Structure 1
């Protein structure tokens, strides 16, 4: 485990060094004004200015809070609904065409109606995060329930396990690895649209910080915000992977790639 962590740190360090070299090379070869395309050193100054007055810390906290509320509620509701719809297949047959029509629509396309129903400010960002995470988790859960190995159901029948224990104690642990794939996909999608949601009406958060930096012609702060969004996205994905690993241990699920 420690060796894997050390190797991953090496990969991250190597990737970071490569990005810095390419970034600085682009600055030297392109000859752009640093007020338009900041160098790594200028971006560090932007980070310093944002940290000095607490702006970056406040925006990170606000974005993570919104994301936690919108993403967690979406995943829980999508998983619960997916379990029910996957189990009652005839009901899903009616609702599936509706889901397939709504799924490809970008959450930001609903923004005029979201603003109409929920107003300007906090709620539109939360709704956009919810929509962005909902369909990947819902569809992966429904698909996993429909295609579950019949052996699990036979075991439940032999032990006379009935609903709702059947779904929660047998079906959910059996299909969770497939749901986890949908959760990882939903995480990236929802994080992207969090920023888009905060650009409209929100008065704080990383999306608002991007708009504010752009309006004030602070490309260094803009780049600092972009880097922060990327790093936090990686951190969130790593956190979800750790939670997933813990759930596997609790339920005794054998992870792919384990030698044990």
Structure 2
């Protein structure tokens, strides 16, 4: 009966084979990585080395323990919340500034040296100033995350404005569209994909900055938990939190890559 079903649905088997063919390289790479991790920390490391604490058979129970204690979920949620707030601040600053710079040649010439200078400064180097301005707490973390994410968003917005087909703007002007109408109907839809790309790039940088930023005065978050586990010499928990940071970062990047975005050309075709 199974063979009859397969013969009557010939598209099912190739599709399943295609899914397996796409999935197995990634699955094999993950298994190989875990094996090399186990080999380095269990077989090759000295008997009393701290590396033995970071072996998979000790790290995975540590993840379960952190979860059962309620630490993992609450601190991961706080870290994600700080990331969202910092990204929102970066969007509020970066997108309007990018539109302004991209639409005005004189402003672009004036702003380019300043932007290039500021974006080359490590966001973490602003830490003393952020603490002096905002004190200890969430505000310095928001500042550092926004400082990390704002430049990719701004520069990609400028790039999106430059990529607009000027014919669309000429058509809008021929219909006597105001500047606000051009911005709403032509420019913003056209730069949407570029803004999404900038957000994704900024998100990666912001996530990297977030963890050390949480080691600078807050008493919650994944970065703080790394310091807390280190002070207790619980290196299995340190690696457990590092794994969680990697998984969450990959998940956030995946969500960002699936954000809706349509270019003006696609909108016009529709």
Q: Quick check: TM above 0.5?
A: yes
Larger Rg: 2
Separation in 2, partners of 1:48, 1:235: 19
Return closer, same or farther for 1:241/1:6 CA change in 2, 3 Å cut-off.
Answer: farther
Indicate which of 36, 39, 44 corresponds to 1:22: 36
Q: What is the RMSD computed on CA atoms of the aligned residues?
A: 2.4
CA contact (8 A) 2:189 2:264 kept: no
Asked which structure has the greater RCO (Cα within 8 Å, sep 6+), the reply is 1
Return closer, same or farther for 1:163/1:5 CA change in 2, 3 Å cut-off.
Answer: farther
Counterpart residue number, 1:235: 251
Indicate which of 20, 31, 51 corresponds to 2:46: 31
Counterpart residue number, 1:257: none
Return closer, same or farther for 1:31/1:196 CA change in 2, 3 Å cut-off.
Answer: same
Counterpart residue number, 2:118: 102
Separation in 1, partners of 2:211, 2:63: 18
Counterpart residue number, 1:132: 148
Return closer, same or farther for 1:97/1:235 CA change in 2, 3 Å cut-off.
Answer: same
Q: TM-score, normalised by structure 1?
A: 0.88
CA deviation vs aligned residue, 1:147-197 (integer Å, no higher than 9, x gap): 432122123223332221212321122233333322221111000001011
Q: Which runs of 5+ in 2 are unaligned?
A: 1-14
Counterpart residue number, 1:62: 78
Separation in 2, partners of 1:5, 1:79: 39
CA deviation vs aligned residue, 1:78-113 (integer Å, no higher than 9, x gap): 112211221122122212211111111001101111
* Bigger mean CA deviation after superposition, 8-17 or 142-151: 8-17
Q: Which runs of 5+ in 1 are unaligned?
A: 255-260
Aligned pair count?
251
CA contact (8 A) 2:45 2:51 kept: no
Counterpart residue number, 1:176: 192
Return closer, same or farther for 1:70/1:36 CA change in 2, 3 Å cut-off.
Answer: same
* Bigger mean CA deviation after superposition, 88-97 or 203-212: 88-97
Counterpart residue number, 2:11: none
Q: TM-score, normalised by structure 2?
A: 0.85
Return closer, same or farther for 1:251/1:234 CA change in 2, 3 Å cut-off.
Answer: farther
Separation in 2, partners of 1:45, 1:188: 28
Indicate which of 214, 218, 230 corresponds to 1:198: 214
Return closer, same or farther for 1:251/1:223 CA change in 2, 3 Å cut-off.
Answer: farther
SS at match of 2:178: coil
Return closer, same or farther for 1:11/1:70 CA change in 2, 3 Å cut-off.
Answer: farther
* Bigger mean CA deviation after superposition, 115-124 or 155-164: 155-164
CA contact (8 A) 1:67 1:194 kept: yes
Pair 1:13 & 2:27 matched: yes
CA contact (8 A) 1:152 1:171 kept: no
